[in-house]
Amino acid sequence: MSSVADEYFCYHCYMDFSGKLKKINELKTEIEKLGPLDPALIKNLDDWYRVELTYTSNAIEGNTLTRQETAQVIEKDISVEGKTLNELLEAKNHSQAVDFITNFARKNKARSTTTLPVILDIHKLILQKIDDTNAGRLRTVSVRVAGSVAIFPNPAKVADITEGLIVWLAENHSHPATKALEAHYRLVSIHPFTDGNGRVARLLMNLVLLENNFPPLVVPKESRRPYIISLEKGQTVGDTNDYYKFMYEQLIVSMEKYLEMVKEKK
């Protein structure tokens, strides 16, 4: 089973990212020096990330809600004129999924407890009331991404390759940042669902980060193009250097933003 996954994930990453990991470690140390946060500050941060992760992740997938409109839908349950029902549901669903991974991570610090049912639960939250037939279920059909030449695994292999991902998550002991980024890359490259793959992959990545006491990684809407191009380069020619370079940089920016927000409010 895992051999199928290992065979599928043959790619090349030859760049030296030790400098970026050194910076990440320095920022992690600085975060740890902050000590335990006040419950009110934790809630404030949770509220911010719920909106920010939802807005950016959905925007990457084509949702047209602005950051302010996303906050309205999530925090006040206010409908937005001119937006589709699906766009509103995507905001509500993703916000619930952010709460799910946040709470799950707090109960499972530094433990690799992510199972297939956990990933399916995340997907079910993402697609609930949008596509209940496929929500929380692995795909049984072939899929393509519009405008991309990437080829994803045959549906007959999806279950085995996804199970291989779960085994890998349990057995991988690399740097938490590297593990989180690779978990994202693996899941989005398996494309185990008919829809919602990118959002679930980013949530899985952040679940791994949160379990290891890192703040969430935010991929800005403005960075959609380099993000997508770097992923496709890995999926089509097996070169993940641009992907890791881009994502490590996003993690550094996200950690710096976290420190800035906490220091402002402490």
The C-alpha torsion from 73 through 217 and 234 to 244, rounded to 10°, is 160
Q: Which residue has the tokens 């494309």?
A: 191
Question: In angstroms, rounded to a whole number, what is the distance separating the alpha carbons of residues 68 and 55?
Answer: 9
Classify 173 as helix, strand or coil: coil
HSE of 33 in the Cβ direction (CA atoms, 13 Å)?
Answer: 8
Under DSSP, the state recorded for 34 is: T
Cα Rg of the chain (Å, integer) = 18
- List, in order, residues 6 or more apart from 38 with CB less than 8 Å away: 266
Classify 49 as helix, strand or coil: helix
| Active-site choice (94, 123, 184, 191) | 191
The dihedrals phi and psi of 17, each to the nearest 5 degrees, come to -105, 20
191 is catalytic: yes
Phi-psi region of 82 (alpha: psi -120 to 50; beta: other; left: phi over 0): left
Active site residues: 191
